[in-house]
């Protein structure tokens, strides 16, 4: 796919992290970007950074756990820029407390944000992409969703695992609708939020964190690569940080 002239919606793009980096990378390559976030100030800042660099962007406030707001965000992108070609499901997170100690309503929202929301976004984006002859979706998962090790937020790990499997099962959309769905599974990403988390860790906890962390811009560049590569569909790539950042297809990894 030639990104120049295309329209993209990037969810969770308000913070100074992966979503903002992806939105800016797409705009730098000539896409018009609908910037989504629940943080109006952060989302507006992303939009302004894109516009200051000469790109096209608009901010849409929407909660990616609510179907009506997801549908409205997609409608906003299409109405504002004339269609929709690219969807990046980046919005995610797992606020404390966690399952099984958290109330049902709390951990259910984490499932909605990290799995049900991307599913709804894909479903509602498909008709818009079909009108344009196809499109590309990139799901941002997490290494929390692969392997067999315990995780501090079981609901987050389960949702991210679901996002990985969802991506693989949607490979046939490339042939049916011309819509390619791929997934990036990052490890530790060097964001302000993560750096603050590291500061609060004990030395024992920090010992398990890789010395080299991935920059948001590295994930952004790889997302752009997946969007542009017409040969890739239903593929899942794990972005390791040990021994230097490297994207490895999930099906090439040895089992645990």
Catalytic residues: 156
Under a CB-based contact definition with an 8 Å cutoff, are residues 10 and 231 in contact?
no
Please answer whether residues 126 and 85 qualify as being in contact, where contact means their C-beta atoms are separated by less than 8 angstroms: no
Counted residue by residue, the chain has a size of 256
User: CA-CA-CA-CA torsion for 62, 198, 245, 26, nearest 10 degrees?
Assistant: 20
E strand intervals along the chain: 7-10, 32-37, 56-61, 86-89, 135-140, 179-186, 236-240, 246-249
- Count other Cβ atoms within 10 Å, centred on residue 240: 19
Neighbour-count burial for 201-225, b at 16+ CB within 10 Å, e otherwise: eeeeeeeeeeeebbebebbbebbbb
Q: How far apart are CA 32 and CA 59, in angstroms?
A: 11
Handedness of CA 162, 165, 167, 171 (dihedral sign): negative
Residue ranges of E strands in 177-242? 179-186, 236-240
């Amino acid at each position: 796919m030639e990104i120049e002239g295309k329209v993209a919606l990037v969810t969770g793009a308000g913070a100074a992290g992966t979503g903002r980096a992806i939105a800016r990378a797409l705009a730098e390559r000539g896409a018009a970007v609908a910037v989504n976030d629940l943080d109006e100030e952060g989302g507006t800042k992303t939009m302004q950074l894109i516009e200051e660099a000469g790109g096209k962007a608009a901010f849409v406030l929407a909660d990616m756990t609510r179907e009506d707001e997801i549908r409205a965000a997609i409608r906003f992108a299409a109405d504002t820029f004339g269609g929709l070609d690219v969807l990046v499901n980046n919005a995610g997170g797992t606020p404390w407390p966690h399952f099984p100690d958290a109330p049902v309503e709390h951990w259910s929202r984490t499932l909605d944000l990290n799995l049900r929301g991307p599913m709804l976004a894909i479903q509602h984006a498909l008709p818009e992409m079909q009108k344009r002859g196809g499109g590309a979706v990139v799901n941002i998962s997490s290494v929390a969703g692969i392997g067999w090790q315990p995780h501090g937020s079981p609901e987050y790990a389960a949702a991210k695992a679901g996002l990985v499997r969802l991506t693989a099962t949607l490979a046939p959309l490339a042939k049916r609708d011309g819509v390619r769905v791929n997934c990036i599974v990052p490890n530790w990403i060097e964001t302000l939020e993560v750096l603050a988390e590291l500061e609060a860790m004990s030395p024992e906890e920090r010992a398990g964190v890789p010395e080299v962390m991935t920059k948001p811009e590295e994930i952004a560049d790889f997302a752009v690569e997946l969007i542009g590569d017409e040969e890739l569909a239903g593929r899942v790539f794990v972005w390791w940080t040990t021994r230097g950042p490297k994207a490895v297809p999930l099906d090439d990894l040895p089992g645990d």
